[in-house]
């Protein structure tokens, strides 16, 4: 299992609409093979910033499976219009597991 972490800044004034759209987009991502869970957090100090955590079976499930699939295009079509920018996207593995 790996965790994808992404920091998303949403266009000013679009935060509530983004949250609504993300509820739909979440199911698109969650139904992708290799996706274990999807969580979105809103920053308290900067309300236009969101933190996305996605658990994947592997980096390949995310980058080769989801990102190169029609599901990614659908996901991006739903939430992409709200993005001001994506400032960081990284993959993490558990430490000390096993």
- 8-59 confidence digits (pLDDT tens): 999 999 999 999 999 999 999 999 999 999 999 999 999 999 999 999 999 9
Q: Is the model's pLDDT at 97 over the cut of 70?
A: no
CA distance 61 to 57: 6
Which region holds residue 30: left if phi is over 0, alpha if psi is between -120 and 50, else beta? alpha
Mean pLDDT of 74-89: 92
pLDDT score, position 88: 87
Neighbours of 8 (CB within 10 A): 22
pLDDT score, position 86: 78
Where do the domains of the chain lie, and which CATH numbers do they carry?
2-92 (3.30.70.100)
């Amino acid at each position: 299992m790996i965790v994808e972490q992404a920091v998303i800044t949403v266009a000013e004034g679009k935060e509530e609409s983004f949250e609504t759209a993300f509820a739909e987009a979440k199911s698109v991502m969650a139904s992708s093979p290799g996706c274990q869970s999807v969580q979105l957090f809103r920053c308290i100090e900067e309300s236009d910033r969101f933190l996305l955590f996605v658990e994947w079976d592997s980096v390949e499930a995310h980058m080769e499976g989801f990102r190169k699939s029609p599901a990614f295009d659908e996901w991006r079509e739903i939430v992409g219009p709200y993005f001001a920018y994506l400032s960081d996207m990284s993959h993490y593995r558990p430490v000390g597991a096993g």
